[in-house]
With several copies, the nearest count.
Chain A
Amino acid sequence: MSVSVQQADFDIGAEIDALLAGRTDVGAVATFTGLVRDVNDGSGVHAMTLEHYPGMTEAALEDIVAQAKARWDILAVRVIHRVGTLQPADRIVLVVVAGSHRGEAFAACEFIMDYLKTQAPFWKREDTPEGSRWVDARESDDSAAERWKQGG
């Protein structure tokens, strides 16, 4: 249950509480939440639809979490990614990493987001005043994922 792909919204505080329930060994919790912005690449965005590849998506996210756990000494991870149609200010993705110390929790959380952005099969389509358009992948996302390969 460390990974979920769902239409429903999520409650960040409740997810953190569930991950920490009964534990007294966690000293550091890093989280990342991605939200729908009302502007992207210079156009207004009034809705966004997230398509995914059922089955592969969950497997890719589990694999990213396993890589993070192999690489850093962390205690627990939760990843939730929404699909379907979302409005500005809606939550899209949540990553929570619990660890003993902050350096590892931060690094693993950022690593998971960077890999998710390039390895997990989700695609965004934005509705703008100029019509509907598929979001282009950013080169900056590739380079963000790439830097983890250099022993960082």
Chain B
Amino acid sequence: MKIKVLYFAALREALGSPGETIELPESATTLAAVRALIAGRGGDWDKLAQMKNLRAAVNQRMAEPDAAVADGDEVAFFPPVTGG
């Protein structure tokens, strides 16, 4: 199954990518699994695992690590927000 993944702010810069479309194995059904999968590529991608207080969204709504991820979803990872 395919999902869209987006990275923002300091994470986007650290990874050197604003986002990508990735193919998920059947076993990756949660946000936490998606994060581990990408971080597991090694190199700069490990920063996704190392970032403290990482926040995430599924389909443009804030989501916790155990949130379900399904085919066609839009997942985003980013640092804590600092607007206002």
Interface string of B54-67 (1 = CB under 8 A from A): 00010011100000
A93 and B82 CA atoms in complex are apart in Å by 12
Identify the B interface with A (CB < 8 A): 6, 8-10, 53, 57, 60-62, 76, 78-84
Distance, CA A124 to CA B81, complexed state (A): 8
Taking the complex as formed, is A92 at the interface, i.e. its CB lies under 8 A from any CB of chain B?
yes
The interface residues of chain B lying within 8 Å CB-to-CB of A122 are: 81-84
* Chain A interface SS verdict (over half): mixed
Residues from chain B with a CB closer than 8 A to the CB of A124 are 82-83
Q: Are B81 and A119 in contact (CB under 8 A)?
A: yes
- Once A53-B8, A53-B57 are accepted as A-B contacts, the answer to whether A123 and B76 lie under 8 Å apart by CB is no
Query: Nearest B residue to A51 by beta-carbon distance?
Result: B9
B74–chain A nearest beta-carbon distance, Å: 9
Nearest-CB distance from B16 to chain A (Å)? 15
